[in-house]
């Protein structure tokens, strides 16, 4: 084991932010969940005691009936904002004094960089390129992510947990979001930053980048496992497999939701429900394709003369 | 000494009187600068510590009036917002300031761009510092936007009536990422060149409007008329791409970001200020009737 390579990646000035993010995210998760636990405890207490629920002020923060409900922005908010600005400025000054922004050789179209890595905040997307062709990874998926994020408020109809931290009242919503953000976005960005090396090959921590490493990837396509050779047959087979998978995953999601979250099904209207299942299925398709590629070396499940999936 | 006649030339006595007056006035102003005409022409309210003046301090100031005069006493708790939205906005201001400073030294041309960065790095007073600060504030802004979004999700703050402001936020997220992307090319070095090459190559594969995308060639998309060509102003990352990145980065995207931030902040006010920390709600209190509250 030789962690020289890992150290080099980690201390690259442009990677310091992702290291920081790797510290901040768990911290804020803990910080938020700590509040959620306090609120959940209060909720349980109030649910058990309807009389108390009628009179309680319903916050876990210190409370005194004689206190004003509001405070003046000047000075109580503005001084916080001012101090925050000072702290951020001080932090940036130190950062800018001790770490230089990178500058490589002048751009040269004839001299390819290997690996040509995007900045860390795009590495989640770049990693998706391993599993899907660019028209999906670079065009369809980013658009689905944006539209999916925008659709969240219109699909999540639960009035619970509006404006306070809670876990027990929103397990499904928070679990789904965190899976997408932490696993499918951040974890992939970390993978792209710390594990991907020359040729976009996997070099685990402890391995040194070997620029001459060749891997004879045995990429197969799903239809080859079934011995199909005719173009039309292949296209139809892939279409059936892909659309079949999406339909089956949609059906399974629907079944599980109705079984385990009946209230969710009843509360949502059909347009909300169908879209939510759709987004969940697309979200699930990414890890499924990752497993197919990483574990079984399957590159495409659907090959046609015009596009591949 | 009273002048006998308005038309008489003021004599020495009167001048001495004026000097006396100057001394008195200055002493008065120094004692209480807030009572001067100058001060009162700038800030249109009294300064003694009274609730009315505290409110006016915020409401009569163009930079502060996005705030309400008063907020919920718990809303200022760090445990609720983590200050992330505010810090994101402050970083945007830092980026505007340092960015303008860098613009004084930067030409978006193939001949100059890289040399300008070297010049900034090595010769311009505080040039390297400004460049570093701009770079790290940009990275920090990505971190804080993501974390802000995570907090907004965790507090369920996208729920009614804030659905639309969540959408404004998603657009701000997108614009923030695009600002970073376009800025990356500007030093015209290997790092930016290849990142942008890889990034824009994906656009080739756009369905229908990319020349390597599904059904693109079939409807006549080529490397010289497709979406990637429109992004780069050419079929390769070259002088036109540099100019386009520059204009997006320094003019168009900051304008878009600014406009959406104005809407974002305005909507926070109109949606009834920050969502919480709100009193908890019990499942048993949810109305069973279908539809929105
Ligand atoms: C340039 C980026 C952004 C800036 C400068 C910004 C700024 C702010 C600020 C200052 C607040 C006040 C509360 C706080 O500090 O947390 C806020 C609230 C809010 N932001 Fe953002 N934001 C940005 C991006 C986003 C994104 C990406 C989202 C979500 C997709 C979002 C959704 C919201 C919502 C829903 C609120 C209301 C929260 C509440 O009432 O509790 N914003 N934003």
Domains identified in chain B and CATH numbers: 16-59 (no CATH), 79-277 (1.20.810.10)
Cβ distance A150 to B237 less than 8 Å, yes or no, reads no
A39 interaction partners in chain B (CB closer than 8 Å): 280
Determine contact, residues A281/A253, Cβ cutoff 8 Å: yes
- Residue ending a domain, choose from A180, A195, A211: A211
B112-124: per-residue pLDDT in tens?
Answer: 999 999 999 999 9
A70 Cα–ligand 1 center, Å = 21
DSSP string for residues in A73-110: HHHHTHHHHHHHHHHHHHHHHHHHHH-PPP--SBP-TT
Residue range A145-159: mean pLDDT, rounded:
95
CA A18 to chain centroid: 14
**b/e per residue A132-149 (b: at least 16 CB within 10 A):** bbbbbbbbbbbebbeebb
Residue range A272-290: mean pLDDT, rounded:
95
Q: How confident is the model at residue A69, as a pLDDT?
A: 87
Q: Identify from A33, A36, A162 which residue to disrupt to test chain B contact, counting B C-beta atoms within 10 A and taking the largest count.
A: A162
Domain of residue A303, residue span = 217-309
- 3-state secondary structure string, B185-199? HCCCEHHHHHHHHHH
A96 interaction partners in chain B (CB closer than 8 Å): 129, 132-133, 135-136
Q: Give the side-chain half-sphere CA count within 13 A for A189.
A: 18
Is A241 found in the same domain as A169? no
Is A158 found in the same domain as A96? yes
Looking up tokens 């920081």 gives: A20
Is A284 found in the same domain as A187? no
B268, two tokens: 């926070």
Provide Rg for chain A, Cα atoms. 25
Q: Please give chain B's pLDDT, 293 residues, in tens.
A: 555 677 888 889 999 999 999 999 999 999 988 888 898 888 888 888 888 988 988 888 888 888 988 998 888 899 999 999 999 999 999 999 999 999 999 999 999 999 999 999 999 999 999 999 999 999 999 999 999 999 999 999 999 999 999 999 999 999 999 999 999 999 999 989 998 988 888 888 888 888 888 888 888 888 899 999 999 999 889 999 999 999 999 999 999 999 999 999 999 999 988 998 999 999 888 875 444 44
Domain for residue A297, yes or no? yes
Interface check A43 vs B, CB under 8 A? yes
Is A14 found in the same domain as A151? yes
Q: Give the pLDDT band (50/70/90) at residue A207.
A: confident
Q: Identify from A56, A58, A94, A101 which residue to disrupt to test chain B contact, counting B C-beta atoms within 10 A and taking the largest count.
A: A101
Cβ distance A74 to B54 less than 8 Å, yes or no, reads yes
* First vs last C-alpha separation in chain A: 38
Q: Can you tell me the distance from the alpha carbon of B249 to that of B255, in angstroms, rounded to the nearest whole number?
A: 10
Helices B113-122 and B127-154, axial angle in degrees (round to 10): 100
B170 Cα–ligand 1 center, Å = 9
Is A270 found in the same domain as A132? no
Q: Can you tell me the distance from the alpha carbon of B140 to that of B154, in angstroms, rounded to the nearest whole number?
A: 21
Is A95 found in the same domain as A51? yes
- Residue ending a domain, choose from A195, A211, A227: A211
> Using CB atoms, which residue from B174, B275, B292 is nearest to A163?
B275
Is A233 found in the same domain as A139? no
A86 interaction partners in chain B (CB closer than 8 Å): none
Separation in Å, CA of B88 to nearest CA in chain A: 10
Ligand 1 atom 34, closest CA? B166
Q: Can you tell me the distance from the alpha carbon of B45 to that of B58, in angstroms, rounded to the nearest whole number?
A: 10
Q: Which residue has the higher pLDDT, B176 or A298?
A: B176
Ligand 1 proximity of B152 Cβ (cutoff 6 Å): yes
Q: How confident is the model at residue B265, as a pLDDT?
A: 96
Q: Which of A36, A73, A162 is nearest to B73 (CA)?
A: A73
Let me know if B281 is exposed, middle or buried by CB neighbors in 10 A (0-12, 13-18, 19+): buried
Q: How confident is the model at residue B49, as a pLDDT?
A: 85
Domain for residue A114, yes or no? no
A227-258: per-residue pLDDT in tens?
Answer: 888 889 999 999 999 999 999 999 999 999 99
CA A173 to chain centroid: 14
Cβ distance B121 to A103 less than 8 Å, yes or no, reads yes
- Residue ending a domain, choose from A211, A239, A269: A211
Determine contact, residues A184/A124, Cβ cutoff 8 Å: yes
Parallel, antiparallel, or unpaired: how do β-strands A70-72 and B70-72 relate?
antiparallel
Domain for residue A113, yes or no? no
Measure Cα distances from A264 to A170, A254, A274, B61, B284 in Å: 11, 11, 12, 47, 15
Q: Of all residues in chain A, what percent carry a pLDDT higher than 90?
A: 64
Let me know if B4 is exposed, middle or buried by CB neighbors in 10 A (0-12, 13-18, 19+): exposed
A58-80: per-residue pLDDT in tens?
Answer: 998 888 888 888 999 988 999 99
The number of folded domains in chain A is 2
Asked if the peptide bond before residue A115 counts as cis, ω within 30 degrees of 0, the response is yes
Determine contact, residues B89/B81, Cβ cutoff 8 Å: no
Is A14 found in the same domain as A132? yes
Q: How confident is the model at residue A302, as a pLDDT?
A: 92
Q: How confident is the model at residue B7, as a pLDDT?
A: 80
Ligand 1 proximity of B144 Cβ (cutoff 6 Å): no
Mutational test site, ligand 1, from B75, B147, B148, B176, max ligand atoms within 8 Å of CB: B148
Is A223 found in the same domain as A157? no
Domain for residue A1, yes or no? yes
ipTM: 0.94
Q: Which of B147, B143, B130 is nearest to B95 (CA)?
A: B130
Residues β-bridged to residue A71? B71
Is A40 found in the same domain as A11? yes
Domain for residue A111, yes or no? no
Domain for residue A109, yes or no? no
Is A221 found in the same domain as A196? no
B114 interaction partners in chain A (CB closer than 8 Å): 106-107
Is A57 found in the same domain as A3? yes
DSSP string for residues in chain B: ---SSTTSPP-HHHHHHHHHHHHHHHHHHHH-GGGSHHHHHHS-S--SS-HHHHHHHHHT-TTTTTS-SEEETTTT-HHHHTTHHHHHHHHHHHHHHHHHHHHTT---STTTHHHHHHHHHHTSTTHHHHHHHHHHHHHHHHHHHHHHHHHHHHTTTTSTT-HHHHHHHHHHHHHHHHHHHHHHHTT-BHHHHHHHHHHHHGGGG-TTTSTTSTTTGGGT--TTTSHHHHHHTSSSSSHHHHHHHHHIIIIIHHHHHHHHHHHHHHHHHHTTSS--SPPP--GGGS--SSS--
B123-132: per-residue pLDDT in tens?
Answer: 999 999 999 9
Q: Can you tell me the distance from the alpha carbon of A145 to that of A184, in angstroms, rounded to the nearest whole number?
A: 11
Q: How confident is the model at residue A66, as a pLDDT?
A: 87
Residue range A20-41: mean pLDDT, rounded:
97
Q: How confident is the model at residue B3, as a pLDDT?
A: 58
Mean pLDDT across chain A: 92
B88 Cα–ligand 1 center, Å = 9
Residue range A107-136: mean pLDDT, rounded:
89
> Using CB atoms, which residue from A76, A139, A152 is nearest to B205?
A139
Ligand 1 proximity of B268 Cβ (cutoff 6 Å): yes
Strand, helix or coil at A71? Answer: strand
B267 interaction partners in chain A (CB closer than 8 Å): none
Q: How confident is the model at residue B45, as a pLDDT?
A: 85
Cβ distance B71 to A111 less than 8 Å, yes or no, reads no
Q: Can you tell me the distance from the alpha carbon of B208 to that of A12, in angstroms, rounded to the nearest whole number?
A: 39
């Amino acid at each position: 084991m030789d962690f020289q390579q890992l150290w080099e990646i980690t201390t690259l000035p442009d990677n310091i932010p992702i290291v920081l993010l790797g510290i901040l995210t768990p911290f804020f998760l803990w910080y938020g969940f700590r509040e959620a636990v306090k609120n959940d405890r209060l909720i349980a207490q109030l649910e058990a005691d309807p009389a108390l629920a009628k009179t309680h002020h319903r916050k876990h923060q210190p409370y005194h009936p004689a206190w004003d409900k509001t405070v003046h922005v000047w000075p109580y908010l503005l001084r916080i904002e001012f101090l925050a600005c000072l702290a951020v400025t001080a932090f940036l000054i130190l950062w800018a004094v001790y770490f230089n922004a990178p500058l490589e050789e002048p751009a040269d179209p004839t001299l390819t960089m290997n690996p040509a890595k995007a900045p860390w905040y795009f590495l989640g997307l770049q990693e998706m390129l391993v599993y899907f062709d660019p028209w999906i990874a670079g065009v369809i998926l980013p658009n689905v992510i944006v539209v999916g994020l925008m659709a969240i408020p219109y699909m999540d109809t639960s009035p619970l947990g509006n404006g306070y931290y809670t876990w027990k009242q929103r397990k499904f919503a928070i679990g789904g979001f965190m899976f997408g953000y932490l696993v499918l976005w951040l974890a992939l960005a970390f993978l792209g930053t710390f594990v991907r090396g020359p040729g976009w090959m996997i070099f685990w921590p402890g391995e040194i980048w070997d620029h001459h490493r060749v891997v004879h990837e045995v990429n197969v396509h799903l239809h080859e496992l079934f011995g199909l050779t005719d173009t039309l047959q292949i296209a139809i087979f892939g279409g059936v497999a892909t659309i079949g998978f999406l339909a089956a995953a949609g059906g399974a999601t629907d079944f599980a939701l109705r079984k385990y979250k009946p209230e969710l099904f009843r509360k949502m209207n059909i347009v909300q429900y169908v879209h939510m299942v759709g987004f969940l299925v697309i979200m699930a398709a990414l890890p499924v394709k990752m497993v197919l590629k990483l574990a079984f070396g399957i590159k495409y499940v659907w090959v046609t003369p015009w596009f591949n999936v | 000494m009273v002048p006998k006649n308005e038309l008489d030339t003021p004599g020495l006595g009167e001048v001495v009187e004026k000097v006396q007056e100057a001394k008195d006035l200055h002493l008065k102003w120094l004692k209480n600068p807030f009572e001067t005409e100058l001060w009162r022409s700038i800030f249109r309210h009294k300064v003694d510590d009274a609730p009315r003046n505290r409110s006016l301090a915020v409401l009569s100031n163009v930079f502060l009036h996005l705030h309400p005069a008063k907020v919920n006493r718990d809303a200022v708790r760090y445990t609720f917002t983590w200050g992330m939205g505010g810090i994101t906005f402050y970083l945007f201001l830092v980026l505007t300031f340092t960015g303008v400073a860098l613009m004084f030294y930067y030409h978006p041309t193939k001949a100059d761009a890289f040399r300008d960065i070297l010049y900034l790095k090595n010769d311009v007073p505080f040039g390297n510092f400004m460049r570093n600060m701009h770079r790290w504030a940009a990275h920090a802004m990505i971190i804080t936007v993501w974390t802000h979004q995570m907090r907004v999700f965790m507090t369920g703050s996208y729920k009614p009536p804030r659905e639309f402001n969540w959408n404004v936020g998603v657009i701000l997220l997108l614009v923030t990422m695009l600002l970073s992307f376009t800025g990356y090319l500007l030093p015209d070095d290997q790092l930016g060149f290849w990142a942008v090459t890889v990034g824009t190559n994906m656009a080739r594969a756009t369905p229908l409007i990319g020349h390597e995308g599904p059904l693109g060639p079939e409807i006549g998309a080529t490397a010289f008329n497709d979406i990637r060509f429109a992004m780069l102003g050419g079929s390769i990352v070259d002088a036109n791409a540099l100019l386009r990145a520059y204009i997006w980065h320094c003019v168009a995207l900051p304008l878009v970001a600014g406009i959406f931030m104005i809407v974002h902040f305005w909507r926070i006010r109109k949606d009834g200020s920050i969502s919480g920390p709100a009193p908890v709600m019990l499942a048993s209190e949810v109305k069973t009737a279908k539809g929105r509250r």
